[in-house]
Structure 1
Amino acid sequence: MNIRPSAAIRQNYNEIAELCKKTEEPVFLTKNGEGDLVVMDIATYNRREKMLHLREELLSVEEDRLRGIAGYSLPELTNMLKNKINEVAKNGRNK
């Protein structure tokens, strides 16, 4: 875990930015000894957001499963995908 005083962001921005990119971890900034801000590079932030979104989707599907809401079988999914691919291909030829 990388912890720096908040003044470090003003004094050593490039160093902190490089640390974020190199470690792919956030840097925690403190103010008067207490946690204040978290800084991370944009690539790490985007990865975390995508992972969070995926976890939310998986949780939602699992909650539906536990409530007894039926999902799709593999053959049903295959047919749905084939139909969608054919639809897109057909629409592309009509243009």
Structure 2
Amino acid sequence: MPRIIPIRDLKNTSEISKMCQEATEPIYITKNGYGDMVIMSVKMYEEKLFMLDVYNKLAGAEAQIAEGKVLDGDASLKSIREKYNV
């Protein structure tokens, strides 16, 4: 379940830092009862960026397949082996 805290709780920076390190998902910050910000640890941020990159690459690969931009695997391996004498 997502963690939601009011913006006034950001005054306790050491507690917020601890919460971010322990959290398995971003922490949502509200202001006047409405969503305002999202915070997370650097580690989680880097993991999310990595997964976003993976999903973008997969989407690009699926688009290439849909467009018919594919190569024959056996022919590709054969040309690589010939090129590098493997």
Q: Which of the five TM-score ranges fits, normalised by the shorter chain? A: 0.7 to 0.9
Deviation at 1:14, TM superposition (A): 1.3
CA separation of 1:74 and 1:36: change in aligned 2, threshold 3 A: farther
Whether 1:63 aligns to 2:63 is yes
* Aligned sequence identity (%): 30
**Which runs of structure 1 show a deviation greater than 4 angstroms over 4 or more consecutive aligned residues?**
none
Question: Match of 1:51, SS?
Answer: helix
Corresponding pairs, count: 82
Query: Structure 2 matches for 1:1-95, cutoff 5 A?
Result: 1-9=2-10, 11-71=11-71, 73=73, 76=76, 79=80, 83=84
Deviation at 1:76, TM superposition (A): 2.9
TM-score, scaled to structure 2 = 0.81
Q: Give, as a single letter, the amino acid of the residue that structure 2 aligns with 1:68.
A: G
Alignment root-mean-square deviation, CA: 2.4
Q: Which runs of 5+ in 1 are unaligned?
A: 84-95
CA separation of 1:7 and 1:60: change in aligned 2, threshold 3 A: same
TM-score, scaled to structure 1 = 0.74
Q: Which runs of 5+ in 2 are unaligned?
A: none
CA separation of 1:75 and 1:5: change in aligned 2, threshold 3 A: farther
Deviation at 1:13, TM superposition (A): 1.5
